[in-house]
A and B are shown apart, each in its own frame.
Chain A
Amino acid sequence: MHKKLIVIGGGPAGLAAAVSAVENGLSPEDICILERDSEPGGILNQCIHAGFGLHRFGEELTGPEYAGRYIEMAKAAGLTITVNAMVLSLTDDKKVTYVSPETGYVTCSADAVILAMGCRERTRGALNIPGSRPAGIFTAGTAQRYVNMEGYMPGKRVVILGSGDIGLIMARRMTLEGAKVLCVCELMPYSGGLARNIVQCLEDFDIPLYLSHTVTAIGGKDRVESVTVAQVDENRRPIPGTEVTYDCDTLLLSVGLIPENELTRGAGVAIDRMTNGAFVNQNRETEIDGIYACGNVLHVHDLVDFVSEEAAIAGRAAAEKILGKTAPAVHSVSVRTGFGVRYTIPERIDIPAEPAEEVRLFFRVTDIYKKVRLTITDGNGNVLVKKAKSAVAPGEMESLSLSVESLKALADAKCETITVALEEM
């Protein structure tokens, strides 16, 4: 079997990428979307709270509504989505092997592949929280599935470790469903979640948030019976004597998301240690020709609206490549991180002879900073772009754009690197 384009994942990234590929001239029959669940929409299907789509659609939608918009757009574009299809392997020459009850075990080759597998939650093990191993320890997303999809409660008295957005959302959800959320504790001195979620999910429900705190012990043999929380010092080590033990039956973990790149690694695609996603250029093309990545499999986003935007870039680029419309690059610039910047997307800019549009660089900062200037500097120290911000935080994505003129100048000067950094004002 052969398809021009295979999109792995039918969540918000995969759907937006496929829709964009059709909008950019690819015929829907030439596109195969493989979704492992029985419904398209990905994790949005269990995110029944509102707050999605403010940027993309200018209105506040729930997760299933946002997914529904894209499912409708995919249908209108003539796309078909193969559900219950789990991709088991991808090769560097773009052979995709998947399995489903309907098709069996199938290998399909493609001219281009878009990776849109999303991410998974970090678990207790990755943190090495000591203690016994009773039932009642769930990642926030697993708890969300039990509550919102299966109609069950994972417990009644809850401590939440980590102030990621899903943890904050679940603090509110569990409270609304009748549970008592005793506290949310966060290892870092700041929350990893969106400011609006701190207000709407914790403050509005009088749920305390303890910054610079972690879980030091979990009690209970069969089921969680207690969770001990302690304050941490500047090296994130628990401070003896600060322990508080909560009598509870559930510990929810919201301690970060990890792009799910096992297929990507299997294909030999180079992975950026900082994003845990592929190295990509501004088209979201990985270092393997014709393999693209977008959405949370590339780097963890805070808003789905930005996932859709990024996926549209990948979808368009894949379509142009398949249709032979891609202008070849004449010069490549690698994007470095400077002071205060954890990672950038893309990591590389491939500049064609006649750049037609600006390139927007997305990045995350390493810490909370007040009054800073965000800058892009070329290899000779010339500031190409600068933007002042009153505050930046690791939980919120920042961006800067490089103009067509700057791109031309970089290519003309054969500049090898540019650096994205913060300057304290």
Chain B
Amino acid sequence: MIYDVLIIGAGVTGVMTARYLSGKTCSVAVCEAGCDVAMGATRANSAIVHAGYDAKPGTLKARLNVRGNKLMKEIAKELGVECKAVGSHVVGFGEEDAKHLKELYERGIANGVPDLRIIGQDELRAMEPNISAEATMSLWAPSAAITCPYGLTIAAAECAATNGVDFYLNFKVTDSSHAGGIYYITNGQQTIAARYVVNCAGVHSAEVAEILGEHDFPIYIQPRRGEYIVMDKTCGKMANSTLFVVPSSKGKGILVSPTVDGNLLIGPNAYAIDDADDTQTTQPGLSEITEGALRLMPCVDTRNAITSFSGVRPTPNIYDFYIKNSEQLPGVVHAVGVESPGFASGPATAEYIAELLTDAGLQFTDKDNFIPTRRADGNPKLFRDMTDEEKNAAIRENPSYGKIICRCETVTEGDILNALNSPIPAVTLDMQKSRNRSGMGRCQGGFCSPRVVAIIAEHENYGLENVTKRGGGSWLVVPKNTKGGDKE
């Protein structure tokens, strides 16, 4: 089969593009090096749909961010994913910051950000009672929203798959050839053929450009790591909206934000690293973000931390996103250097990529049978989100919904089986976790992970040793040596 379009990379940009094109009359495939969609910068970030005041007016970033902010809320609604416009404050401390806030305000107005306002200390205090006493003012952007970035991306990917997009997971592009107007993209074992190729490979997008055959590709990606700490839900109400400090050349600085799941998120710092896949956290880094968060909110107590993580952002050597038709390779579109606000921009970036594909010669019209939801029959609900009546009906119909597997997050066996039976089957522990939060609560999988592993193994009809945390070499258990005595 020859696809019309192959998208390389299943982060927010690739997936939103796949979903957009799945509503059009063209055949689409997505290949992804990871074992799941949303495995790179889309998974680990601040979980913010930025309002759009940050980017310089006239840039692609500014335009796509503001439009993406609006579209993201609509798409979240269609997919039944929570996206809450809690708003954001850029918090100023004294006169020096006042000047910067004014600049940001003016940028925001030029970019078309709605309802932007600079507010004084009293109003800020009234809105955020836990804010530092030293905070004097803020830039208030009510259109900023919080969501679950990977949850939304997974939902969009399921929707794309429901509408006929083929997903090739664990497919790391190693080589490519071009003949007769067709690109042959391979991972060394399997080859996908397509007339048009979209490169959305995030931190690896510059490498992928070279694999596709670009010479002297103008963009260089500097992976930049940011660390975060997730606090227990008992802290989730300490902030009502996302709190930023005044941005610096290094990025938007350390923020404090509620999450849609009811936790409190603090971070990130920003450090250039060599290995784009190195998502470790460090002691100095975690101390740094704790101090940063304390500056905004002195009552943050890291004894309530439940986990830490880090994400790697694809920072390019230019100020803006690089989203262009290739000058050397006909039919190739690059979406490279899509760092913050890449998530918020996602749906608008998808539209823009589709325009570029049209410019390159791809022809399509709207499908009349596009399904905007995750499955043909709508958006499946998790047990914990059901009403009491729905819970009882679900258990009557399928008793596995009455069996709680993850105690902390109230995930039932039914939820886990549902994720296994989805258009993108959740066959690893982390895939399950990102679909239903099993193992994400305060015990961090202590009780449920052996049970989830056993359910996956039984469903897939293999032994527990075949279940991984997140594909590759991330094995969890090995069979007992029945002979015993494997001692050195």
Contacts and interface: CB of A to CB of B under 8 A. Distances in A.
A68 interface: no
A36 B407 contact: yes
Given A86-B407, A146-B450, A178 B487 contact: yes
Nearest to A139: B446
B308 A180 contact: no
B278 interface: yes
Contacts of A131: 280-282
Contacts of B395: 99, 101, 104-105
B296 interface: no
Contacts of A56: none
A132 interface: yes
Contacts of B446: 120-121, 123, 139, 141-142
A216 interface: yes
Contacts of B429: 135
Interface stretch (A147-155, A186-194, A292-300, A336-344): A147-155
Given A84-B403, A130-B280, A130-B283, A177 B443 contact: no
Contacts of B469: 134-135, 222
A126 interface: yes
B181 interface: no
A123 B444 contact: yes
Nearest to A147: B480
Nearest to A154: B477
A150 B305 contact: no
Contacts of A50: none
A375 interface: no
Interface in A122-164: 123-126, 128, 130-136, 139, 141-142, 145-147, 149-156
Interface in A58-96: 84, 86, 88
B478 A156 contact: yes
A221 interface: yes
Given A120-B447, A125-B444, A146-B477, A178 B402 contact: no
Contacts of B282: 130-131
Given A133-B309, A178-B481, A84 B476 contact: no
Nearest to A134: B474
Contact of A125 (B307, B403, B447): B307
A150 B485 contact: no
Contact of A101 (B285, B403, B443, B474): B403
Contacts of A124: 307, 444
Contacts of B309: 133
A221 B278 CA distance: 8
Among A101, A103, A134, A179, chain B packs the most CB atoms within 10 A around the CB of A101
A27 to B, nearest CB: 28
B302 to A, nearest CB: 7
Interface string A170-196: 000000011110000000000000000
Given A131-B281, A177-B484, A104 B396 contact: yes
Contacts of A36: 404, 407
Contact of A133 (B279, B391, B404): B279
A253 to B, nearest CB: 9
Contacts of B465: 152
A150 B469 CA distance: 17
Contact of B475 (A86, A88, A128, A135): A135
Interface string B395-434: 1100111111001101010000000000000000100000
A100 interface: yes
A84 B402 contact: yes
B440 to A, nearest CB: 10
A128 B229 contact: yes
A124 B286 CA distance: 14
A139 to B, nearest CB: 5
A102 interface: yes
Interface in A347-400: none
A223 interface: yes
Contacts of B285: 130
B474 A222 contact: yes
B464 interface: yes
B445 interface: yes
A11 to B, nearest CB: 13
B277 A221 contact: yes
Contacts of A135: 429, 468-470, 474-476
Interface in A212-242: 216, 218, 221-223
B377 interface: no
B403 A153 contact: no
Interface in B263-305: 277-283, 285-286, 302, 305
B488 interface: yes
Contact of A105 (B302, B388, B403, B480): B388
B245 to A, nearest CB: 22
A105 B403 CA distance: 11
A154 B392 CA distance: 37
B399 A101 contact: yes
A166 to B, nearest CB: 11
A84 B412 CA distance: 11
Nearest to B449: A142
Contacts of A221: 277-278
Contacts of B308: 125, 128, 130
Among B443, B476, B480, B487, chain A packs the most CB atoms within 10 A around the CB of B443
A117 to B, nearest CB: 9
Among A86, A105, A222, A262, chain B packs the most CB atoms within 10 A around the CB of A105
A153 B308 CA distance: 26
Nearest to B465: A152
A88 B408 CA distance: 10
Contact of B473 (A120, A123, A141, A223): A223
A180 B444 contact: no
Interface string B104-141: 00000000000000000000000000000000000000
B33 interface: no
A411 to B, nearest CB: 38
B484 to A, nearest CB: 6
Nearest to A221: B277
Nearest to B484: A178
A205 to B, nearest CB: 11
B481 A121 contact: no
Contacts of B412: 99
A102 B399 contact: yes
B230 interface: yes
Contacts of A155: 477-478
B472 interface: yes
Contacts of A126: 305-306
Nearest to A237: B283
A223 B474 contact: yes
Contact of B477 (A104, A152, A218): A152
B286 A128 contact: yes
A105 B404 CA distance: 12
B454 interface: yes
Contacts of A145: 450
B90 to A, nearest CB: 28
Given A132-B281, A177-B481, A179-B486, 10 more contacts: A84-B402, A101-B399, A121-B446, A123-B307, A131-B281, A132-B280, A135-B476, A152-B477, A178-B481, A178-B484
20 contacts: A86-B410, A101-B399, A105-B395, A125-B306, A125-B444, A128-B308, A130-B282, A131-B282, A135-B475, A135-B476, A136-B476, A139-B446, A150-B464, A150-B477, A152-B465, A154-B477, A177-B481, A222-B473, A222-B475, A262-B442
Interface of B: 229-230, 277-283, 285-286, 302, 305-309, 388, 391-392, 395-396, 399-404, 407-408, 410, 412, 429, 442-447, 449-450, 454, 464-465, 468-470, 472-481, 484-488
Closest 9 CB pairs of A and B: A125-B307, A101-B402, A101-B399, A178-B486, A135-B469, A222-B473, A152-B477, A86-B404, A132-B280
Interface of A: 36, 84, 86, 88, 99-105, 120-121, 123-126, 128, 130-136, 139, 141-142, 145-147, 149-156, 177-180, 216, 218, 221-223, 260, 262
